[in-house]
Structure 1
Amino acid sequence: MSSDSSDDENRPPSPADGSSAPGAGDDGGGEGRERPSDHPARGDEVYASEVEGRQYRGTWFLPLRYEELKRAGETDDYPDRGDGGAFRLTDLPRVPRVGHIVGPSAIMLGASLGSGETLFWPVLTSQYGWTLFWAFVVGVLTQFVINTELQRWTLATGESVFRAFARIADHWPWLFLVGGLVSLGWPGWAASAARVGTAALGLTGSVTLLGASIAAWKLIAVGLMVVIWLSYQVSSVMYNAVEVFQIGLLFVSIVAAVLLVAVSGSWVELADLPAAASAVGSLPPEMEIAVFLGGLAFAGAGGYLNLSQSLWAREKGYGMGNYQGRVKNPFRGDDPEPIERDGFTFRPTTTNLKRWRGWWRVVQLEHLLTFVFGLFLVAPALMSVAIRYAPGTTADALQMWLGDVVPLLGPAGRILVFLVLFVALFTTEYAIVESFVRNSVDAIYEVYGREAGWDLETLFWRVLTGFCLWGIAIILLFTSPFEGREPFFFLVVGAAMSGVMMWPYTALVLVMNTTRLPEHLQPGWGRVGAMWWASGFYGYFSVLLVGETLVEFGLGSFQTVPLVVGSGAGGYVLWAVYFVVQSYAVARSAGAKRRAAGTVDDAELAAGWFP
C-alpha cells in the first residue's frame, strides 16, 4: 500500500533562477513572469485559474531544478522504470479548461482530412453506398481509444511514447521508425494537392525553367514543400508554428466542406444513413481485405501518425509534460529547453489523484470534441457528395472528384470542391511532414543521439530539411504524380501498411500502460477491453492481408481465410502468431490489473469518465 503522502516533500522547488518561471508563447515569455507562489503545482487546488490556464494556449514549459528533485522509489506507487533511470518527484500541475489545451488533436484531424476523409472514404461510399459507414465509425472510435492511450504515459511521466518503448527494448523505436519511413516517406499528398491546383487554375502544361521543361504540377508541389519548411522558421518553438498553421487550414477546409453540401444539395443523401445500420458487421463480397484494412486505418490518421499524439502532448505541456522542454528553432537565438531522458512522476496524494482525474477528463474531451467530432462532421459531408454525383465510380479518388463530380456542379460547387481538396491535401502533407520528422527525431535521439551528445534542436532541423529535400527530389524525378500508377493504388498500399503497423504498437501500448504504470494511472477495465478489441481487430485483418500478399508473391501455402479453418500450412502459422500475440497481450494486461488492485491508497479518486 502507498505509505508516503506528504504534500510538502512533493512540492517542487522554484524554477532554475530561483524566483520565476516562463509562461506561454513562442519565446517562453508569454504574458509576463509568474511569482513562485503561482507555481502550477503548489497548493491544494485541483483546477487552474483562468490566467494560469491561458498559458497553455501557446504551449507552456516550466523548468525545475531537475537534479535537486527526489527520485521515485521502485514501489507500487510509481511507474516501473524498466530499462532506464528513476523518475523525479514533483506535483502534477493544476488542471486547465479544455479550451486552453486544444491543439494536438487539431493537428491529428488535419492529418486525417486529406487521406481518408477526402479521398479514401468518399470513393468507398460512392462504390458501396452507406453500407460501409459502420466501419468508418468503428475505425474512428477505435482510434480515439488508441490515441488517448498513447498520451497516457506522457501525461503521467512527461516522457514520449518512444522513450517509453526504449525502456522496454531499444529495437521498438527503430522498428516503428522504419515502418513510418516506408508508409509516409513519399510526398504523395503534396503531389495530389498540386494536381488539384493545376486543374483548378487550368495549368495542365509544362513550364520551361533554366532550359528544362517541367510540368506545372511539379512546380506547385515543390512550392508546397518549400512553404512547409519555411513555416517552421516563423516561431522559436517548432510545434507552435505547426499548430497555428494547421488550425487555420482546418477552419478553411471544414467551412468549405459544409458549404459544399449545401450548394450541391447532397444533404438529401444523409437521410439514407440510418438505414445503413442494418449492414453493421457485413462487407461486400467483392471487397479486398487491403481496401478494408486501409479504410479502418484511414478512418482517422492511422499508422505512424498516431504515435505523434504523445509528442504533441509533451510539446503542449499536458500533465507532467509541463516540466519537459519544447523543441526550439536552433537559429532563433533562444536558449534550448531540456527534455530530460528520465521524466517525472508524482506521489499519489489526494490532490494529485484528483488532478489526474481532471487531466484525464480534459485530454479525452479535447480529442473527442476536436478529432472525433471533426471527422464525424466532414467525412459524411464529403461522402454524401460522392454518393450523389459519382455512384458506382470505378475511378481513383482524385479522378472521381475532378472528372466525375466537378463537371456536374455549378460554379460555386466547383470552386468549393477545388478548395476542399487542395486545402485538405495540403493539410495532410503538412501533418505528415511534421509527424514523420518529430517521431523519427525523437526515436533516434532517445535510442542513440542523446548518448552520442547530439543536439536535439539541430537534429530536428536537419531531419526536417532532409525530409523536405527528399520529397522535392521524388517530385522532380517522377514523370507523373504517381509514375503511371493510379493514385488510389498508392493510397490503398499506404493505408494498409499503416493498419498493419497499428497492430503491434496497440498491443505494446496496452501491455506498457498496465504493467508499467501504478494502479491510479492504469487504464480502467473498460479501456483495457477496448484495447483488447483494437489490437485483435487490427491484428485479425493484418493477418488476412499478409497472407493475401504472400499468396500474390507465389507463396500459396500462406493463404489465410477469414474463418481460419481452410487456410494453408503457412497461413496456420500466421494465425498461430496472431493468437499467441493476442493471448499474451490479454493475459499480461489482465494479470497486471489484478495484481495492482488495492496497492495504492485512495486510487479510486483518480478514476473518472472512461478512465
Structure 2
Amino acid sequence: MSGRQPDSDAEGQSPEDSPDAGASDSPADPSASDSTQTPKGGVTGGDEVYASEVEGKQYRGTWYLPLRYEDLDESPDSEEYPETGTGGSFRITDLPRVPRVGHVVGPSAIMLGASLGSGETLFWPVLTAQFGWTVFWAFIVGIFTQFLINTELQRWTLATGESIFRAFARVGTYWPWAFLIGGLISLGWPGWAAGAAQVAATAFGLDGSVAIFGFSIATWKLIAAGLMAAIWLSYQISSVMYNVVEVFQIGLLFVAIGAALMLVAVSGSWVEFADIPAATGSVGTLPEGIDIAVFLGGLAFAGAGGYLNLSQSLWMREKGYGMGNYQGRVKNPLRGDDPEPIERDGFTFRPTVTNLRRWRGWWRVVQLEHLLTFVLGLLVVAPALMSVAIQYSPGTTTNAIQMWLGDVVPLLGPLGSFLVFAVLFVALFTTEYAIVESFVRNSADALYESYGREAGWDLPKLFWRLLTAFCAWGVIIILLFTSPFEGQEPFFFLVVGAAMSGVMMWPYTALVLVMNTTRLPEHLQPGWGRVLGMWWATGFYGYFSVLLIGTSLTNFGLAAFETAPSILGSGAGGYALWAMYLTAQAYTVSKSAAGKRAAAGTVPDADEASGWFS
C-alpha cells in the first residue's frame, strides 16, 4: 500500500499562508516528510496548542491534510504507543492543533437528527403518556449514558485516525461482521420513512390506496418510497458524501426544534412540567405493566442508539478531528476528483508535552461539541414533546404514531395540528436520513476493513453501491411488507429495530471499554471516572437486554427462559441468561481495571493529558 504523494517536495503552507488549504475537495499540500513535522504545515510561532481563527475555520468543511504515508516513521512496539493487535503499525506524526468548538460542530448534529425521530418523538412521549413523569428518570439516565458511550467511541479515532471498525478488526476480524449483521437486523427496516410518510398522508388527507398495475397500494407507502428515493438523490449533490448529510441534517434540526418549542407554547402543555419534581420518588423503579421491548427501545433511543452510535467515529474522521485530519475522505465516485486513500493502519503521535496538551484540548472540544449539540438538543426537544403527550393523551393504549395522529391532533386547533405534523414529519425524516447514512457508512467501512481492502475493493464505490442497494431494499420492504398486527406496519418496524439496537449496545460498550483500557497507552486511556461510568453502561444495557431476551423467548413459548427483574424467580434458562450477563460484566470490569493498573506510570508526563474524567 502506498500513501498519497504530494504535488511538491517543499514544506507545506500554513493555513494563514493558504486560506483554501482545508477545502474538502482541494486538500493542502503536505509538509510531512518526517515524523517531527508541525501539523497544518510548517507553522512557526504562535500558540503551539490551539489553532488560530483562520486555521480553525478550515474545519467547517471537511479538512484533509495528506501526508507521505510511507515516509513516516512506524510506531515501535512500546508502552508509549497504541497496541497494534492483528493489524500493522501506526505512522508517527504530530497531533493537529486544537480548534474551537464552534469550528467542529457537525458529527453530533447528525447524531441529534438521528435521535429526534426515534426515542424523542415516539418512544418516550408514548411512555410518559402511559405512565407520566415516573419514567422520565430513565430518559435522563439514557441520555448521559449515551453521551459517555459516544465519546468513548470517538477516542480511538481521535487518537489514531482509524474508524471504530478498524479498531474492532485489530481485536478480532469477526467483530466488524458481528456488528454489521446486528446493524442490518436493527436498521434494515425503514420504519422512520414509513412513519414520516404516514404522517404526511394523514396531514394531507391521503389515507386511501392507489391502484398500480392491478395492485392496491396504500398512499403512505408510495410517499415513503419517494422519501427513500429523495435520500438517495441528495447524495449526488456533493463530491464528499459526508458534507451533504451534515448540511441537510443541521437545516432540518432547526425546523424540528423550532416547531417543537412552538407546539408547547400553542398547546399550553408547559404546565405539565410542574409535576416533574413529584416524580423523583420513582427513580430506579419501573411501573407495573410496562412493555419491556418498548422500554428497552426507549433506553436505546434516548439518543440515537445501537448501530447508529458507531457512526460517531466515522463522522469525526470525515470531519477531520484529531489524527483523523490525516485520513482521506469518502467521495462520491461519480463526482469530483479521485478519492483520497483511507490509510489502513492510521497514525499516532509521540507523547511530547506539546502533543499531550493538544490531546487534552482535543478531548475537551470533543466532549463539549457532543454535550452542547447532542445532549442539550435532546433535553430541549424530548421533554417538550413528552409534555404534549401527557396533557393530550394520558393513559394511551395505542402506539406512538397513532397516539399523535389519532389522540393529540383532534384536540388541537389548526396551528397546533400543523405543528404536530411538522415536528413528526421532519423528526422522522431526519432520523431515516441519518439511518441510511449511518448504516451505509458503517457497513461499507466494516466490509472494507474486514475483507474488501485485501480484495482490492474501492471504498467510495462500495459506499455508493451499498447506498443504492439499501435505499432500494427500503422501497421493496415498504411496498411489500405487511405487519402481523393490522394497521401497525410503521410502528412495528420501529419496535423491532429499537429493541435490537438496545441489545447491540451491550457487547460493543464492553468491547470499547476493554479496547480503550488495554490497547491505548496511559496518556490516551479513559480516566478512572470514565471507566466507572462505562462499567455502569455495560451493566445498564446488559441488564435490560437480558430482560428483553428472556421476555421474548417466553413469548415464543419457551417458559424456561423467563427472566425476573430481581433475578430470583427466573426460569432455569433465565438463570443461565443472568449467569452469562454476570460473567460478561465481571470480565469487562476485571480486564479494564487490569489494563488501567498495568499502564499506570509507563509514560512520562502523562499527567499533562490525563485526569479523573479524561
TM range (shorter): over 0.9
Residues 408-460 of structure 1 show CA distances to partners (whole Å, capped at 9, x for unaligned) of: 11111111111000000000000000000000000000000000000011000
What is the aligned counterpart of 1:24 among 13, 18, 22?
22
User: Which whole-Å CA distance do the structure 2 matches of 1:554 and 1:413 have between them?
Assistant: 45
Residues 143-542 of structure 1 aligned to structure 2 (within 5 Å): 143-209=146-212, 213-478=216-481, 484-485=487-488, 487-542=490-545
Residues 86-119 of structure 1 show CA distances to partners (whole Å, capped at 9, x for unaligned) of: 0000000000000010000001101110011001
Query: Could you tell which deviates more after superposition, 428-437 or 486-495?
Result: 486-495
Structure 2: tracts of 5 or more residues without a match? 14-19
What is the aligned counterpart of 2:87 among 84, 91, 95?
84
Distance 1:70 1:477, change over 3 A: same
* TM-score for the superposition, normalised by structure 2: 0.94
Partner amino acid, structure 1, of 2:398: A
User: Which whole-Å CA distance do the structure 2 matches of 1:16 and 1:519 have between them?
Assistant: 37
Partner amino acid, structure 2, of 1:18: D
Kept after mapping to 2: 8 A contact 1:26/1:235: no
Partner amino acid, structure 2, of 1:23: A
What is the aligned counterpart of 1:549 among 525, 544, 552?
552
Residues 273-298 of structure 1 show CA distances to partners (whole Å, capped at 9, x for unaligned) of: 22221211111021132232222111
User: Which whole-Å CA distance do the structure 2 matches of 1:575 and 1:499 have between them?
Assistant: 17
Distance 1:118 1:520, change over 3 A: same
Residues 139-183 of structure 1 show CA distances to partners (whole Å, capped at 9, x for unaligned) of: 000000000000000000000000000001111100000000001
Which residue matches 2:16? none
Kept after mapping to 2: 8 A contact 1:544/1:562: yes
Kept after mapping to 2: 8 A contact 1:320/1:344: yes
User: Which whole-Å CA distance do the structure 2 matches of 1:194 and 1:561 have between them?
Assistant: 39
Kept after mapping to 1: 8 A contact 2:39/2:94: no
* TM-score for the superposition, normalised by structure 1: 0.94
The question of 1:116 aligning with 2:119 is answered: yes
User: Which whole-Å CA distance do the structure 1 matches of 2:518 and 2:576 have between them?
Assistant: 28
Query: Could you tell which deviates more after superposition, 483-492 or 426-435?
Result: 483-492
The question of 1:101 aligning with 2:104 is answered: yes
Residues 297-346 of structure 1 show CA distances to partners (whole Å, capped at 9, x for unaligned) of: 11111110000000001000000000000100101141211101100000
User: Which whole-Å CA distance do the structure 2 matches of 1:492 and 1:74 have between them?
Assistant: 46
Which residue matches 2:135? 132
Q: How large is the Cα RMSD of the aligned pairs?
A: 2.1
User: Which whole-Å CA distance do the structure 2 matches of 1:603 and 1:191 have between them?
Assistant: 51
Task: Report how far residue 490 of structure 1 moved.
Answer: 3.8
User: Which whole-Å CA distance do the structure 2 matches of 1:324 and 1:285 have between them?
Assistant: 51
What is the aligned counterpart of 1:60 among 63, 68, 90?
63
Kept after mapping to 1: 8 A contact 2:30/2:41: no
Task: Report how far residue 480 of structure 1 moved.
Answer: 7.7
Task: Report how far residue 607 of structure 1 moved.
Answer: 2.5
Which residue matches 2:583? 580
Residues 329-365 of structure 1 show CA distances to partners (whole Å, capped at 9, x for unaligned) of: 1011412111011000000001000000000000000
Task: Report how far residue 595 of structure 1 moved.
Answer: 0.9
User: Which whole-Å CA distance do the structure 2 matches of 1:60 and 1:149 have between them?
Assistant: 22
Query: Could you tell which deviates more after superposition, 163-172 or 267-276?
Result: 267-276
Aligned residues: 598
Distance 1:330 1:490, change over 3 A: closer
User: Which whole-Å CA distance do the structure 1 matches of 2:172 and 2:299 have between them?
Assistant: 29
Kept after mapping to 1: 8 A contact 2:113/2:434: yes
Instruction: Say which SS state the counterpart of residue 204 (structure 1) adopts.
Output: coil
Query: Could you tell which deviates more after superposition, 376-385 or 218-227?
Result: 218-227
Query: Could you tell which deviates more after superposition, 109-118 or 44-53?
Result: 44-53
User: Which whole-Å CA distance do the structure 1 matches of 2:212 and 2:491 have between them?
Assistant: 31
What percentage of residue pairs aligned between the two structures are identical?
75
Kept after mapping to 1: 8 A contact 2:143/2:375: yes
Distance 1:191 1:489, change over 3 A: closer
Residues 452-483 of structure 1 show CA distances to partners (whole Å, capped at 9, x for unaligned) of: 00001100000000000111111221368976
Which residue matches 2:40? 40
Task: Report how far residue 573 of structure 1 moved.
Answer: 1.5
Partner amino acid, structure 2, of 1:17: S
Task: Report how far residue 541 of structure 1 moved.
Answer: 1.3
Kept after mapping to 2: 8 A contact 1:188/1:481: no
Partner amino acid, structure 1, of 2:338: D
User: Which whole-Å CA distance do the structure 1 matches of 2:163 and 2:304 have between them?
Assistant: 19
Task: Report how far residue 602 of structure 1 moved.
Answer: 0.6
Kept after mapping to 2: 8 A contact 1:192/1:481: no
User: Which whole-Å CA distance do the structure 2 matches of 1:289 and 1:366 have between them?
Assistant: 32
Kept after mapping to 2: 8 A contact 1:24/1:57: no
Task: Report how far residue 580 of structure 1 moved.
Answer: 1.2
Residues 9-34 of structure 1 show CA distances to partners (whole Å, capped at 9, x for unaligned) of: xxx999553344773344236xx889
User: Which whole-Å CA distance do the structure 2 matches of 1:504 and 1:296 have between them?
Assistant: 16
Structure 1: tracts of 5 or more residues without a match? 1-11
Kept after mapping to 2: 8 A contact 1:253/1:423: yes
Residues 216-255 of structure 1 show CA distances to partners (whole Å, capped at 9, x for unaligned) of: 2122111111110011111110000100000001110000
Task: Report how far residue 271 of structure 1 moved.
Answer: 1.6
User: Which whole-Å CA distance do the structure 2 matches of 1:395 and 1:14 have between them?
Assistant: 60
User: Which whole-Å CA distance do the structure 1 matches of 2:474 and 2:5 have between them?
Assistant: 45
Kept after mapping to 1: 8 A contact 2:266/2:416: yes
User: Which whole-Å CA distance do the structure 1 matches of 2:196 and 2:218 have between them?
Assistant: 14
Partner amino acid, structure 1, of 2:22: A
User: Which whole-Å CA distance do the structure 2 matches of 1:397 and 1:115 have between them?
Assistant: 10
Kept after mapping to 2: 8 A contact 1:361/1:608: no
Which residue matches 1:141? 144
